[in-house]
């Protein structure tokens, strides 16, 4: 297979790409100028990959040296990453002052319409087509997350996609669309107005459709792609309506115009604004797969695994969160916000709470390793929504301190989740890939016997992989710990903050907040269970299928991103948290600097952080914090270990940390859950609580007849009119052309007729 | 008035006329250089021989059949650059009948630019080959006829490029004319040369016939126009544009002499811009001529007609704000008929050249509609300026995409095809880059953003709408009551929009067959490097002039030149 030979030499080919940014720096560009490269280089690269792929398909150099475009994609994303890092580096300490922000650079202005100045023209919308770069701490964080993860996922894809014969000669499509997808996210994060945000948002929608349906000949993949596209479209329509209302209020969609004074000196009607924001929120719900528009996300697993990683960690789903985070200035009553929008915060928090709980519950019964991760994504995003909802509520009630804390925690959770989930998906991809290969290897040429009913994604076919795939097992362990929120690991810091502040809102301010508060607390324990369950089922215990014994972890390109992300997840989250990541992330909307640089020295700050996480001054919060730790750290995992844990089979050994965990999991004894797994509830969960069925039933009764009617209308009425126009035009055309006889005499006659008509007309006037 | 002798002595004047002088020297060079030879004159009683260069056996290098093309291209390039650099706010009188200012220089740059493209394209369209041999008795019939056609092409190189330069001189001087008489003489200089160019391939029936028809109808129109001019002279006693304008402004009521004079001149200019019903010879001429020449007719020649219209309608007879010019209604009617006729006829044309010819008629209609709004008296000074900028911008970018489309057809013609829609079938597979450019040209002709054709059309429609929309009832609550009150001029804009929608059909049909039909042959077209380069340049500029800094530069250039016309 040639998989084993080192291919790092191919990285030579990305050097020209990586030279772009230093070259520009040499030319005296500022980092803000080079921000255009983040979008422009992928934008140029993606058509090149697609076209070159068509032209050179199967060509040796294209296939072996350029990995069917993968190297080009990697280079382009590398350039984006470098430019993004440069931007982050430059602006990290010099964020523009809150409330006085403007775009740091303007890229494009439609041809200036100065000429057209007049009351009836396009002048008033002059700026609507411009696009520039907007920088604050949220932008920087998301930009880094997106560029960094896209780069790593692309790296991973080189191993994952190019060694699978099913993808052969089609990978250029994958890489081209991958790059377009990535640039959609980069552009959306950078855009300095809602219109361009929406445009890039839609680019992502398109690419999600294309990539989920990458295996379009599989009916399920085609169906999943359609489902994802249509479901997010529902949200997009609402988002569009929201933007219309917003434009109606402010006469502009530029951040700098709107955020300068969202209340317009107190004249904005809060009801109107509420509806605008609610509509935009529904758009975010669709994009981030929250209840009730969540149905597309699990099906989206039909795409190749790197696509899942891309959608779940680096791009798509974060877009919705980003949009909601951008709503803060509207509600921040301490700073020109509009009062009376508490309900928005409540709605966001409730949607988050319900989704978190529901998704975690469904994840209990999933046996497909990627499906578990999909529901976990939904659930974790829901945490962030809950946090943002509380933040919006606090901001709107001028509880500034709490608002800033929970906002920062939410944003930090986004960061942690993206890093961990990106790595988890790649690790699951690694598992699937190797199991699939082992299976192919075993049953080489005997497809008829086992080939069809073997599912390499089914965890019931795994078990005991810890010794076979040490890197993957370690990576997944840390990723799961971060998602669960094991103390001191990445996700702990942010999740703790979200849960505690939601409870704070419920206990001390708004009784209605108790709903989301309870739900997210329960979910913490459930997360502990289903993530541990996934890990134990896959890596611990004895192999449940002989295939496992043939698994080897040796595909190139796959390990490196896993290791990098493991390090970030294991130590990065801890370090960032202690260094004040939450404060930094909330600084975008912390105009009075409540938290920023509160502690004089680094050590003080670290001690404060630790103390605040484990022993906050507020007694209620302290209790909640410990309950969370208890549920997620102790109760969930132990229960999972009892059900699915177990020692490895004799003679197998894993790396130290992993083997300790595996043997620990075998110590809790085992528990039989057959009766539970056969209950009605389990069946309902397996059927995803029947949401898909209900939606399909409703659609079949309403949309399908309506679609049939519009198809009829289109065919007969609209096409009929067009065809009538066409045939009339054609007959008119023939008549007119008959006048062109080809005889010069007739032409002169017509000239004379024209002359006479002119004379008559002039006569009539004078 | 100063005499021509004085003109040549004055170096300032010579500088002012630099582009024209460059072309004139090119003309002389084309005549002289191929005739250089080694003849010498022996000084009597000595053995000293003084070379006199004319006569004897010709030098190999200068007698190269490709020489005229090179000289003409060089002359056009220099003249083009000179014209472009001379577009500034200065204004120089020359000899009492010519004035070099930003307006005239912009147009001469446009004309010469178009001629430069024609000249570059003709390198391959009318190729000159070295080492051409006369056919011998051993040759088969086909070989013999091919050799003869090569010899003929070689022989007529000089004629072709002399005519091209004559067109350039006529057009360029025409743009500078400040006297109606001079204007008409220059138009005729350019026109007569184009008649010959249309009929240039006299061995083909269609070329000769087209040229003859174009000449006959053109002469008839010119005759009527010159009669109209003589009526104007009877009325005013002077043909200088300024004195005509003063006289018109002082006129009480409307003098029949003046009105008929202007009306009849419309016939001549209407023929030049191919306005209905004077356009009928145009499709024949376009399809009969070689494609670069058709492109010349569709761009430079049309622009010439519009300069003439600007001079007469805008400089002499522009009405005061609120008054209607006598020609307003006439021009509006002609405009609507022209655009509808052009688009309808193009709809079913099976010959791409005829289709482009009709599309060119339609474009004339759009621009005439815009001019007629100036005559409606609604535009005011600012509105007039806007509309003139829009039309001039449109004429300038037409040189890019209309000419570009004809150049693509030229490329097909070098292989002997390009007269039928089938010749374009599958061009996307044979020549992706060329087909892509053609697609761009079609989109730009249709006015699709962000191409330059869109911007120019937008500027025009905006000019019309902003002049007329103010007349609508501003307190109207619904569309219908507003429509009742708005001035009918508004409907001219609507006519443009409806016609654009109609035109999209045939532009896209052409694009469709390029990409979705199977080609009859899969061979690539001739390599014709300079022609391809010209096509690429047109395609790139078509995009650049639609959006971004280049378009802004061009708009500001045009607005400078319009300031020098009306300001």
Predicted confidence (pLDDT) per residue in B72-82, tens digit? 999 999 999 99
Out of A202-216, B119-133, B449-463, least confident range: B119-133
Is A751's Cβ below 8 Å from some Cβ in B?
yes
Cβ separation B345–A762 shorter than 8 A: no
Is the pLDDT assigned to residue A659 strictly greater than 70?
yes
Cβ separation A744–B281 shorter than 8 A: yes
Residue B217 near residue B271, CB atoms below 8 Å: yes
Q: Using one digit for the tens of pLDDT, what is the confidence trace for B157-216?
A: 889 999 999 999 999 999 999 999 999 999 999 999 999 999 988 777 788 889 999 999
Contacts of A732 in chain B (CB under 8 A): 344
DSSP B92-150: EEETTTEEE-HHHHHHHHHHHHHHHHHHHHHHHHS---TT-----TTS-HHHHHHHHHH
Is A2's Cβ below 8 Å from some Cβ in B?
no
The pLDDT value recorded for residue A119 is 35
Cβ separation B345–A122 shorter than 8 A: no
Cβ separation A758–B264 shorter than 8 A: yes
In sequence order, the 6+-apart residues with CB closer than 8 A to the CB of A364 are A526, A529, A530, A533, A682, A685
Cα three-residue angle A114-A119-A124, rounded to 5 degrees: 60
Chain A closest-CA separation from residue B397 CA (Å): 15
Using CB atoms within 10 Å of the CB of residue A262, give its burial: 0 to 12 exposed, 13 to 18 middle, 19+ buried.
buried
Give ipTM to 2 decimals. 0.86
Contacts of B277 in chain A (CB under 8 A): 750-751, 753-754
Contacts of B547 in chain A (CB under 8 A): 110-111
R_g (Cα) of chain A, nearest Å: 29
Q: pLDDT category, A124, cuts 50, 70, 90? A: very low
Nearest Cβ partner of B345 from A119, A121, A737? Answer: A737
Nearest Cβ partner of B326 from A729, A750, A762? Answer: A762
Max intra-chain CA distance, chain A: 113
The pLDDT value recorded for residue A450 is 47
Measure the CA–CA gap between B459 and B453, rounded to whole angstroms. Answer: 10
Cβ separation B276–A754 shorter than 8 A: yes
Is A111's Cβ below 8 Å from some Cβ in B?
yes
Q: pLDDT category, A127, cuts 50, 70, 90? A: very low
Is A730's Cβ below 8 Å from some Cβ in B?
yes
Cβ separation B555–A759 shorter than 8 A: no
Using CB atoms within 10 Å of the CB of residue A219, give its burial: 0 to 12 exposed, 13 to 18 middle, 19+ buried.
exposed
Measure the CA–CA gap between B425 and A641, rounded to whole angstroms. Answer: 69
Q: CA nearest A384: which of A529, A548, A194, A520?
A: A520
Q: Using one digit for the tens of pLDDT, what is the confidence trace for A140-188?
A: 889 999 999 999 898 888 888 877 777 777 888 889 899 999 999 998 9
Contacts of A744 in chain B (CB under 8 A): 212-213, 216-217, 281
Average pLDDT over residues A352-378: 89
Contacts of A751 in chain B (CB under 8 A): 217, 220-221, 224, 267, 271, 277-278, 280
Q: Percent of chain B beyond pLDDT 90?
A: 47
Is A567's Cβ below 8 Å from some Cβ in B?
no
Cβ separation A754–B253 shorter than 8 A: no
Residue of A52, A751, A760 to mutate, testing the B interface (most B Cβ within 10 Å of its Cβ): A751
**Token pair 């951040």 is at which residue?**
A255
Cβ separation B277–A746 shorter than 8 A: no
Query: A648 — phi, psi (to 5°)?
Result: -70, 160
Cβ separation B552–A111 shorter than 8 A: yes
Cβ separation A744–B389 shorter than 8 A: no
The pLDDT value recorded for residue A111 is 39
Cβ separation A116–B459 shorter than 8 A: yes
Residue B441 near residue B538, CB atoms below 8 Å: yes
Using CB atoms within 10 Å of the CB of residue A704, give its burial: 0 to 12 exposed, 13 to 18 middle, 19+ buried.
exposed
Nearest Cβ partner of B220 from A110, A739, A751? Answer: A751
- CA quadruple B245, B247, B253, B254: dihedral sign: negative
Residue of A51, A726, A744 to mutate, testing the B interface (most B Cβ within 10 Å of its Cβ): A744
Average pLDDT over residues B310-339: 88
The pLDDT value recorded for residue A435 is 85
Query: B179 — phi, psi (to 5°)?
Result: -130, 135
The pLDDT value recorded for residue A12 is 81
pTM above 0.95, yes or no: no
Q: Search chain B and give the residue with CA nearest A117.
A: B466
Contacts of A761 in chain B (CB under 8 A): 263, 329-330, 333
Average pLDDT over residues A232-257: 86
**Is residue A742 left, alpha or beta, with left meaning phi > 0 and alpha meaning psi from -120 to 50?**
left
Per the prediction, chain A carries an average pLDDT of 81
Structure tokens at B543: 């995009």
Contacts of B213 in chain A (CB under 8 A): 744, 747
Average pLDDT over residues A95-105: 56
Residue of B258, B336, B348 to mutate, testing the A interface (most A Cβ within 10 Å of its Cβ): B348
Is A47's Cβ below 8 Å from some Cβ in B?
no
Average pLDDT over residues B14-25: 91
DSSP B193-214: HHHHHHT--TTSHHHHHHHHHH
| Interface A-B: count of C-beta contacts within 8 A | 125
Q: Using one digit for the tens of pLDDT, what is the confidence trace for A290-333?
A: 888 888 888 888 888 888 888 887 788 889 999 999 888 888 88
Nearest Cβ partner of A733 from B266, B347, B466? Answer: B347
Contacts of B382 in chain A (CB under 8 A): 118
Cβ-count burial A289-328 (b if 16+ within 10 Å, e if not): bbbbbbbbbbbbbbbbbbbbbbbbbbbbbbbbbbbbbbbb
Chain B closest-CA separation from residue A77 CA (Å): 27
Nearest Cβ partner of A762 from B270, B330, B548? Answer: B330
Q: CA nearest A392: which of A505, A494, A279, A289?
A: A505
Chain B closest-CA separation from residue A123 CA (Å): 11
Is the pLDDT assigned to residue A612 strictly greater than 80?
no
Cβ separation B263–A119 shorter than 8 A: no
The pLDDT value recorded for residue B8 is 56
Cβ separation A729–B548 shorter than 8 A: no
The pLDDT value recorded for residue A313 is 78
Cβ separation A729–B505 shorter than 8 A: yes
Q: pLDDT category, A744, cuts 50, 70, 90? A: confident
Distances (CA, A) of B311 to A669, B52, B114, B174, B331: 101, 48, 21, 10, 15
In sequence order, the 6+-apart residues with CB closer than 8 A to the CB of A721 are none
Query: B92 — phi, psi (to 5°)?
Result: -120, 130
């Amino acid at each position: 297979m040639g998989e084993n030979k080192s291919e790092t030499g191919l990285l030579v080919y990305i050097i020209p790409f990586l030279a772009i940014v230093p070259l520009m720096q040499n030319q005296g560009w500022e980092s803000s100028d080079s921000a255009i490269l983040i979008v422009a280089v992928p934008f140029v690269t993606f058509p090149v990959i697609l076209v070159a792929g068509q032209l050179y398909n199967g060509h040796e150099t294209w296939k072996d040296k350029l990995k069917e475009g993968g190297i080009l994609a990697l280079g382009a994303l590398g350039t984006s990453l470098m430019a993004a890092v440069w931007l982050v580096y430059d602006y990290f300490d010099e964020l523009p002052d809150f409330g006085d922000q403007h775009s740091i650079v303007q890229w494009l202005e439609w041809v200036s319409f100065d000429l057209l100045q007049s009351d009836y023209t396009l002048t008033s919308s002059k700026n609507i087509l411009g696009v520039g770069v907007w920088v604050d701490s949220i932008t920087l964080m998301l930009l880094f997350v997106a560029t960094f993860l896209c780069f790593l996922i692309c790296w991973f894809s080189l191993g994952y996609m190019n060694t699978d014969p099913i993808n052969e000669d089609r990978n250029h499509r994958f890489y081209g669309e991958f790059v377009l997808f990535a640039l959609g996210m980069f552009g959306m994060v950078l855009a300095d107005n809602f219109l361009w945000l929406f445009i890039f948002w839609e680019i992502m929608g398109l690419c999600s459709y294309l990539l989920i349906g990458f295996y379009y000949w599989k009916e399920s993949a085609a169906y999943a792609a359609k489902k994802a596209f249509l479901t997010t479209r529902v949200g997009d329509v609402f988002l569009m309506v929201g933007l219309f209302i917003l434009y109606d209020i402010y006469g502009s969609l530029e951040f700098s115009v709107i955020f300068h004074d969202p209340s317009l000196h107190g004249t904005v009607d809060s009801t109107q604004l509420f509806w605008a924001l609610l509509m935009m929120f529904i758009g975010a719900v669709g994009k981030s797969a929250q209840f009730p528009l969540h149905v597309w996300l699990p099906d989206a697993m039909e795409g190749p695994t790197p696509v899942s990683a891309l959608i779940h960690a680096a791009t798509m789903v974060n877009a919705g969160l980003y949009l909601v985070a951008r709503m803060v200035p509207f509600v921040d009553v301490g700073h020109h916000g509009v009062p009376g929008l508490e309900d928005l915060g409540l709605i966001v928090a409730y949607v988050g709470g319900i989704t978190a709980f529901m998704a975690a519950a469904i994840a209990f019964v999933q046996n497909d390793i990627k499906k578990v991760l999909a529901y976990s994504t939904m659930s974790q995003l829901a945490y962030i929504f809950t946090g943002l909802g509380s933040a919006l509520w606090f901001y709107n009630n001028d509880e500034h301190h709490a608002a800033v804390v929970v906002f920062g925690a939410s944003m930090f959770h986004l960061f942690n989740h993206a890093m961990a989930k990106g790595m988890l998906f790649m690790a699951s991809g690694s598992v699937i890939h190797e199991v699939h290969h082992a299976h192919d290897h075993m049953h080489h040429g005997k497809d008829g016997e086992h080939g069809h009913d073997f599912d390499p994604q089914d965890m019931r076919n795994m078990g005991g992989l810890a010794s076979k795939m040490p890197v993957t097992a370690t990576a997944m362990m840390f990723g799961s710990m971060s998602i669960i929120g094991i103390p001191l690991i990445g996700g702990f810091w942010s999740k703790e903050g979200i849960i505690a502040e939601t409870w704070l809102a419920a206990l001390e301010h708004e009784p209605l907040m108790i709903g989301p508060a309870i739900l997210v607390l329960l979910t913490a324990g459930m997360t502990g269970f289903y993530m541990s369950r996934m890990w134990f089922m896959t890596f611990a215990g004895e192999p449940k299928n002989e295939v496992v014994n043939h698994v080897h972890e040796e595909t190139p390109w796959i390990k490196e991103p896993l290791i990098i992300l493991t390090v970030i997840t294991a130590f990065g989250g801890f370090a960032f948290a202690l260094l004040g990541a939450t404060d930094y992330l909330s600084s975008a909307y912390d105009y009075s600097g409540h938290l920023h640089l509160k502690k004089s020295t680094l050590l003080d700050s670290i001690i404060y952080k630790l103390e605040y996480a484990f022993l906050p001054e507020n007694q209620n919060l302290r209790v909640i914090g410990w309950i969370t730790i208890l549920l997620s750290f102790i109760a969930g995992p132990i229960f999972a270990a009892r059900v699915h844990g177990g020692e490895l089979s004799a003679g197998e050994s894993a790396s130290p940390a992993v083997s300790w965990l595996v043997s620990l999991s075998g110590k809790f004894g085992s528990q039989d859950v057959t009766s539970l797994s056969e209950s009605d509830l389990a069946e309902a969960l397996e059927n995803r609580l029947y949401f898909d069925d209900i939606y399909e039933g409703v659609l079949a009764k309403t949309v399908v007849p309506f679609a049939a009617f519009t198809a009829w209308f289109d065919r007969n009425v609209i096409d009929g009119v067009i065809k009538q126009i066409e045939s009339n035009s054609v007959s008119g055309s023939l008549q007119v052309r008959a006048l062109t006889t080809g005889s010069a005499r007739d032409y002169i006659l017509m000239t004379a007729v024209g002359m006479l008509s002119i004379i008559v007309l002039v006569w009539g006037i004078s | 008035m100063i005499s021509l002798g004085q003109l040549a002595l004055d170096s300032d004047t010579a500088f002012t006329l630099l582009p024209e002088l460059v072309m004139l020297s090119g003309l002389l060079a084309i005549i002289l250089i191929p005739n250089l030879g080694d003849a010498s004159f022996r000084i009597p009683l000595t053995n000293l021989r003084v070379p006199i260069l004319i006569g004897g056996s010709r030098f190999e290098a200068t007698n190269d059949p490709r020489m005229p093309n090179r000289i003409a291209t060089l002359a056009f390039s220099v003249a083009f650059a000179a014209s472009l650099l001379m577009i500034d706010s200065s204004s120089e009188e020359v000899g009492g009948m010519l004035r070099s200012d930003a307006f005239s220089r912009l147009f001469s740059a446009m004309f010469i630019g178009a001629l430069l493209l024609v000249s570059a394209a003709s390198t391959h369209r009318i190729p000159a080959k070295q080492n051409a041999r006369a056919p011998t008795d051993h040759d088969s019939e086909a070989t013999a006829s091919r050799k003869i056609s090569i010899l003929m092409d070689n022989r007529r190189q000089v004629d072709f490029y002399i005519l091209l330069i004559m067109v350039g001189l006529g057009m360029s001087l025409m743009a500078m004319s400040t006297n109606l008489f001079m204007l008409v003489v220059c138009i005729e200089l350019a026109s007569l040369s184009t008649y010959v160019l249309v009929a240039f391939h006299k061995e083909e029936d269609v070329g000769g016939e087209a040229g003859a028809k174009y000449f006959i109808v053109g002469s008839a129109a010119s005759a009527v126009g010159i009669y109209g001019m003589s009526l104007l002279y009877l009325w005013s006693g002077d043909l200088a544009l300024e004195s005509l304008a003063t006289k018109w402004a002082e006129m009480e009521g409307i003098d029949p002499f003046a009105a008929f004079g202007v009306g009849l001149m419309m016939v001549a200019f209407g023929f030049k811009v191919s306005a209905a019903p004077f356009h009928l010879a145009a499709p024949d001429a376009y399809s009969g001529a070689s494609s670069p020449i058709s492109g010349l007719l569709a761009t430079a020649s049309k622009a010439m007609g519009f300069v003439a219209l600007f001079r007469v309608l805008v400089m002499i007879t522009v009405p005061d704000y609120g008054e209607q010019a006598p020609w307003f209604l006439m021009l509006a009617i002609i405009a609507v008929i022209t655009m509808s006729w052009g688009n309808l006829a193009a709809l079913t044309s099976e010959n791409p050249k005829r289709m482009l010819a009709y599309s060119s008629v339609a474009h004339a209609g759009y621009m005439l509609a815009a001019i007629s709004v100036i005559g409606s008296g609604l535009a005011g000074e600012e509105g007039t300026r806007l509309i003139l900028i829009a039309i001039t911008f449109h004429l300038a970018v037409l040189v890019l995409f209309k000419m570009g489309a004809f150049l693509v057809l030229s490329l097909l013609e070098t292989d002997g095809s390009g007269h039928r829609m089938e010749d374009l079938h599958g061009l996307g597979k044979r020549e992706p880059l060329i087909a892509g450019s053609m697609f761009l040209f079609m989109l730009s002709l249709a006015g699709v953003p962000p191409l330059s054709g869109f911007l120019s059309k937008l500027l025009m429609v905006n000019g019309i709408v902003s002049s007329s929309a103010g007349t609508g009832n501003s307190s109207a609550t619904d569309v219908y009551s507003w429509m009742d009150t708005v001035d009918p001029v508004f409907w001219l804009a609507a006519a443009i929009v409806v016609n654009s929608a109609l035109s999209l059909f045939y532009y896209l049909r052409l694009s469709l067959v390029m990409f979705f039909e199977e080609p009859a042959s899969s061979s690539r077209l001739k390599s014709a490097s300079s022609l391809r380069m010209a096509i690429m340049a047109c395609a790139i500029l078509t995009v650049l002039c639609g959006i971004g800094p280049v378009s802004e530069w061009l708009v500001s250039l045009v607005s400078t030149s319009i300031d020098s016309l009306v300001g």
